[in-house]
Amino acid sequence: MRLYVDSADVKQIAHLVEYFPIAGVTTNPSILVKEKRPYLAVLKDIREIIGEDRELFVQTLGETADEMAEEARFIISKLPGKTIVKIPVTEEAIKAMKMLAQEKIPVLGTAIYTPFQAVMAAKAGAKYVAPYVNRMDNLNGNGVKVVSEIAKLFSIYHLKTEILAASFKNIQQAMDVCLAGAEALTLSPDFIGKLVSYPATVNDIKDFKAQWTAQFGSAHSVLGNYGEV
C-alpha cells in the first residue's frame, strides 16, 4: 500500500514527508484554491519539498479532449520529476487519455463512481484510477464494494492500472479499501496522523516511562550504562 497526501498545504506536506513513508501528493482545483496563491507557484513549492522521485498529481480543467491534452502537456512541461495528470472520467476524458498514452504522459482517471468508468480509463491507458469512496456512500452507494469490483475486473482482464482510492470519512473505510484491493490511498493530513494515533499506545508509553523512572530515576535513559553489570 502506497500513501499519498491529499493537500496543497506546503507546511503540512513537509511535516508528513519527514515523518511518514509518503509516496507523493495529490491535488485538485479545490485544494489549490484554498492556498490563495498562484497555483503554479504552490505546485513548484510542493515539488521542491517532495523531490522529483515522489509523484505529484495535478488536475486539468478542460472540457474537450484537446483542451485536456493541451493542459496536460503544459503541466508536464512546468513540473519536473514524476508528475501525473488527473482527468475526471468523461467521454472526452477517455479520448484525451488515449491521446496522452501515445505521448507517454501518465494519467490518473479521477472522480470515478462506477467500475465501468475505471475499466474504460484503464483500457484508454490510465496509469491510475481514483474511485471516490465516501462520496459514493453519500449517494447511497457502496464505495468499498465498488473498489473491490474494480480490483476484480482489473485482475480478470489483466489490466495494469492501479487503484488510488480517494475520499474517506474514517480510517475504517481506508482499511476496507486496502483489503478490497486498492494499491494506494490518498488521505488528508489529519487522516494520515490518525493512522498511527491510538489512545492505548499513549497510555502504554506513560506506563513504561513511569516504571523505568521509578527504578532508575527520571534523568536516566537506555543510552546510559545503568543496565550494565
Q: Is 133 helix (H, G, I), strand (E, B) or coil?
A: helix
Q: Assign residue 125 a region: left if phi > 0, alpha if psi is -120 to 50, beta otherwise?
A: left
Q: Looking at 86, 169, 194, 206, which residue is catalytic?
A: 86
Euclidean distance between CA atoms 66 and 5, whole angstroms: 29
- Residue 203 neighbours by CB under 8 Å, 6+ apart: none
| Main-chain dihedrals φ then ψ at residue 61, nearest 5 degrees | -120, -5
Contact predicate 41/61, CB 8 Å:
no
Q: Assign residue 184 a region: left if phi > 0, alpha if psi is -120 to 50, beta otherwise?
A: beta
For the chain, report the end-to-end CA distance as a whole number of angstroms. Answer: 45
Euclidean distance between CA atoms 38 and 58, whole angstroms: 14
Q: Provide the strand spans (E) within 52-167.
A: 55-59, 83-88, 107-112, 128-131, 162-165
Concerning whether 206 is annotated as a catalytic residue, the answer is no
Catalogue the active-site residues.
86
